[in-house]
Structure 1
Amino acid sequence: MWAAFRRGEWFTHRGEVRARVVRRLLLAPPQAEAGHVPRLRLRNVSINGRLDLAEAVLAGTLRLHGCRFEQAPCLDGATLGALEMRDCELPGLSAVGVTIGWKCEIAGCEVRGPIDLYGASIGGTLRLEGSRLTGHGERRGEGALQLLCATVGGDVQAGTGLRVDGCTDLRDTSVRGSVVLKRAELRNPTGAALRANRLHIGGDFNCRGGLVAEGTVDLCDARVGGGALFQEAVLDAQHGPALRAHGIDVGAEFNLCDGFTARGRVSMSSITVRSRLSFKDALIEAPAGQAALISRRSTASELDLRFREPVKGTVDLSHTRVTVLKGTPQRWPVALRMEGVVYDSLLPQLPAAQRLPLLTRDPEGFTPQPYEQLAASYRLHGHDGDARTVLLAKQRRQHTTLPWPGRVWGGLQDITLGYGYRPMRAVWWLCAIMLSGSLLFTRWPPQAVDPGKPPHFQAAIYTFDLVLPLVDFGQEQAFSPRGGLQWAAVVLVCLGWLLATTAAAAANRTLRRA
């Protein structure tokens, strides 16, 4: 082994090597042979005892392939040029505060205890593909992978083949590149599978292509410079939310779409997405009556709610602001809260009659703002007729919440003028009343008040005099009905006042809106 070190060659040995011998070789290295760079390269070696390199300074790369460790190595506070461990077996790894100038590779390894990289500084990429990591808790020193308060100058490649049984903890870590968890398996069914609170990523958070997480994925207050990509990911949590991402800031797309499946609640309020937040072809499984998706007070350029199938639980988008909102009636959630939601466009463009059922799905009952917002969106795109239809539906629902006198008065306004949004109804009502009165008084004219000098009787003008308040053509004063005609005149006068009052109320409402 000493000779291989002096020549920088691989040392392959099926037997055992004492850890203190390896330590002495690294801390007091022999003189290199002429023309060679001294390096420690061990393959298929069993290392007995504990390899303690705490606070050691090693200039080169420590390469260990297929090695087996009796005890967990200690690299606390050490400084290394690079660390390369492939296909190794070890009961854990303690590297608190380690400084690695280049890459740190723990690939294809089986680690039966915590990997503790708290406060580590890695100048290049951290690679964990193909490894099997096992932890025994979520507290400090117990998680399967603990990369807390660390700095990574490159990427974190923890994708294909990685399986973690226990908690993966990336809290308060800064990664200049991307974090890749494609096709990884993170399993901690009784708690958090991934804790990445306040994680800062310069590139993408890439979990697409089949990430499987059993337990909560927690991304609260994380900052992602690129996109957060969860296409085809499966998140399964039986004892809490499947995804918790309150306050996350995503610089590009946040894709929970294209085969994304969450078995449990998705909670992500107060988030900022500078591009698209997409749930297209996503499946969120939550029991009816319980929260399935919570995204209150959030901001995104585009929100796509075209789920794979309608969500049975409640979707809460209260006070969210987007530029474009996409959704089709066939895939809208069963229960949807949209109080305070603001958007410019609702796609695809559909008639108001197909959009209105969406506004009746709020489990807390009627709120006027969603109707006002939908009407404003229609007006913005020149669909004034659809806007009036929405506002009429709002008035109808609003009056169902009033006491019975208010409901009766609202019903009269609806029948006569459609609350001011169907003004032609007043014309047709007036024509019907005028025609009825004219026919009635033509057949049975009233008697003149002064038989000596009666004016010429005009049935239509007389009906106008009765129906239109504050208008006097002289006919009503000159003629007086008798018997049943008197009651007919009273009915016409009442209908006129009712029509005028409802018209005034509708006009007042319209002017106040303007």
Structure 2
Amino acid sequence: MEINDLTAAESRVWRAFHKGEPVAFGEGEAENPATGSDWGPERTVRASVLRALLLSTPQVDGEIPRLRLSGARVTGQLNLMYAVVDHPLHLRYCHFEESPDFYGSRLRQLNLRSSVLPSVSLASTRIDGPLRMTDCRVRGPVKLAGSQIAGALFMDGADITTSDPSVPVIQLHQSVLSDGFAAPGLRVRGEIRLDGATVGGSVNLEGAELSNPGGNALRAQSLEVRADIRARRLRAEGGVDLRGARIAGRLDLMRSRLSNPGGMALRASSCVIGELWLFRSEPLEGTLHLRRSRIDVLSFEPEVAPGEVLFNNLTYTALTPHEPADRRLPLLERDGDGYVPYAYEQLAAAYRHVGDEGAARRVQLAKQRRHRATLPWLGRVWGHLQDTTVGYGFRPLRAAVWLLSLLAAGSIVYALHHPRPLKAAEAPEFNPVFYTLDLLLPVISFGQEGAFAPTGGYQFLSYALILTGWILATTVIAGVSRSVTRQ
């Protein structure tokens, strides 16, 4: 392309390119690219001119060429498929009439800050520096699947939507970001897909607004983040699916609102996460799914998950903030898998980790009561008996109260009505207290029970004391055995 074929605006861009000088049409940062379709020829540049400039213009000795264009209306399609562009591209505050295509290209750097685009294809692109889409407005999908970005991806303040809800609006699956993904204040209507992506730094979605009702607002299966996901004040209408993700730092969802009624509000199953922060967030509208995940620190108040939860095989070391067991236990009763013994054991272990043995015992007792409901009627009867007498061994003082009460009752009765001796000449002196102890304690013998034989109703009382003693001894031994096993 010859310079004689160019318009005045295009000639200006052509001349500035070789020296890397900026060309700014309009009012720069005060410009509104949304009105770019009304811009006249004085600020219109053909996409074919930019392509020729980037791919075929010889370099001037001693100069470093760079395209630095802002406030232009770009007509036609900027097609750089499979191109190798050695010059940084700055196309800021521009209005693109057609979707640029960078598929499979290799770029030094790309800056589309505050531009308006129908859509953009950057799939399988390799960028040696950062990709900036800060404050962009895109009315179609942003295709970045399989891309490799040596720097960070910036989408802070961007507004991206699509008319086809079946197509992910931001496609970052299988992409590699050597640095981070910075998108605070991002507004998206449609699905963000990050399946299989690798982020070398942090993901920042603080204050972002994601909307895809009935589907996934954010789908990031098998995502690997080597630092944090910072998503405070996130507003997500639709599911957040992080199954299989690996997050080295924290997943911070403080003060967020996750809404997906009838579906999964947050699915972080089979994940490995350093810390999950959900406290001070609004109650989830939908299910909290954390099955098979390993989390070092799990932080949320019980009110955050008012509906169904899925905690089977969830492992965590610490649970914050510290709450009484009675506040945490209703969560386990709402588990969609029904009675999950492991969930109770994990909660009890978390209380022991901070030295709250009382809360741990309360959880263990709740586990036994929940298990009792799954047993046949005979097992339920036996369970109720253990619960009433000694609290399944987790309330040993109750056994002492029962023993003392029965000892007092038996001693009074037999003091008033001495049983007859079996062999009067050989029988020891009758002692109602030790006689009752002989009946109650199945192992210890004071020589009273075998020497005296009550009759009538007093004989049935002795049978009742013997049976009660065996029940108390069995349940206490069972409780002690569980305590020893846990230790």
Could you state the TM-score of these two structures normalised by the residue count of structure 1?
0.73
Deviations 1:108-150 (A, max 9, x none): 11100001011101000000011111124465xx221101111
> How far is the alpha carbon of 1:203 from its aligned partner?
0.7
Tell whether 2:235 aligns with 1:212: yes
- Report what 1:127 is aligned to: 154
- Report what 1:283 is aligned to: 304
- Report what 1:402 is aligned to: 378
Tell whether 2:292 aligns with 1:262: no
Distance 1:410 1:80 in 2: 73
Tell whether 2:416 aligns with 1:439: yes
Distance 1:412 1:262 in 2: 37
Distance 1:456 1:233 in 2: 82
Tell whether 2:114 aligns with 1:87: yes
> How many residue pairs end up in the alignment?
434
- Report what 1:248 is aligned to: 271
Deviations 1:186-238 (A, max 9, x none): 11112110010011111111112x11111001100011111111111111113
> How far is the alpha carbon of 1:366 from its aligned partner?
3.0
Q: Is the 8 A contact 1:98 1:119 kept in 2?
A: yes
Find the partner of 2:49 among 5, 16, 21: 21
- Report what 1:169 is aligned to: 193
Find the partner of 2:341 among 336, 339, 342: 339
Richer in helix (by share): 2
Equivalences for 1:218-233 in 2 at 5 Å? 218-233=241-256
Deviations 1:360-383 (A, max 9, x none): 5x8x96316xxxxxxxxxxxxxxx
> How far is the alpha carbon of 1:494 from its aligned partner?
2.2
Task: Return the letter of the residue paired with 2:455.
Answer: A
Task: Return the letter of the residue paired with 2:351.
Answer: L
> How far is the alpha carbon of 1:72 from its aligned partner?
0.3
Distance 2:330 2:82 in 1: 59
Distance 2:350 2:91 in 1: 58
Distance 2:411 2:216 in 1: 75
Q: Is the 8 A contact 1:165 1:187 kept in 2?
A: yes
Task: Return the letter of the residue paired with 1:214.
Answer: E
- Report what 2:142 is aligned to: 115
Task: Return the letter of the residue paired with 1:17.
Answer: V
* TM-aligned CA distance change 1:123 to 1:505, over 3 Å: same
Distance 2:325 2:310 in 1: 20
> How far is the alpha carbon of 1:6 from its aligned partner?
1.8
Task: Return the letter of the residue paired with 1:26.
Answer: L
Deviations 1:399-449 (A, max 9, x none): 9953898699879978xx9999625644553443343333346xxx99x99
Deviations 1:72-128 (A, max 9, x none): 000011111000011111100011111100100111111000010111010000000
Aligned residues: CA RMSD: 4.0
Find the partner of 1:47 among 74, 78, 81: 74
Equivalences for 1:294-313 in 2 at 5 Å? 294-304=310-320
Deviations 1:330-373 (A, max 9, x none): 6346453462332335278779699759955x8x96316xxxxx
* TM-aligned CA distance change 1:355 to 1:64, over 3 Å: same
Deviations 1:243-271 (A, max 9, x none): 11111111x21111133542221111110
Tell whether 2:183 aligns with 1:158: yes
- Consecutive unaligned residues in structure 2, runs of 5 or more: 1-12, 26-41, 334-339, 440-444, 482-487
> How far is the alpha carbon of 1:42 from its aligned partner?
1.1
- Report what 2:99 is aligned to: 72
Tell whether 2:33 aligns with 1:5: no
> How far is the alpha carbon of 1:498 from its aligned partner?
2.6
Task: Return the letter of the residue paired with 1:57.
Answer: V
- Consecutive unaligned residues in structure 1, runs of 5 or more: 307-325, 369-396, 478-487
* TM-aligned CA distance change 1:272 to 1:437, over 3 Å: closer
Deviations 1:41-90 (A, max 9, x none): 11111111111000111112100111111110000111110000111111
Distance 2:204 2:385 in 1: 63
Deviations 1:23-49 (A, max 9, x none): 1111112443x6532111111111111
Q: Is the 8 A contact 1:189 1:215 kept in 2?
A: yes
Q: Is the 8 A contact 2:329 2:363 kept in 1?
A: no
Distance 2:246 2:331 in 1: 31
Q: Is the 8 A contact 2:131 2:154 kept in 1?
A: yes
Q: Is the 8 A contact 2:431 2:448 kept in 1?
A: no
Task: Return the letter of the residue paired with 1:339.
Answer: P
Could you state the TM-score of these two structures normalised by the residue count of structure 2?
0.77
Q: Is the 8 A contact 2:77 2:101 kept in 1?
A: yes
* TM-aligned CA distance change 1:330 to 1:420, over 3 Å: closer
Find the partner of 1:366 among 367, 370, 378: 370
| Partner SS state of residue 23, structure 1 | helix
* TM-aligned CA distance change 1:75 to 1:400, over 3 Å: closer
* TM-aligned CA distance change 1:272 to 1:502, over 3 Å: same
Q: Is the 8 A contact 1:155 1:177 kept in 2?
A: yes
Task: Return the letter of the residue paired with 1:346.
Answer: Y
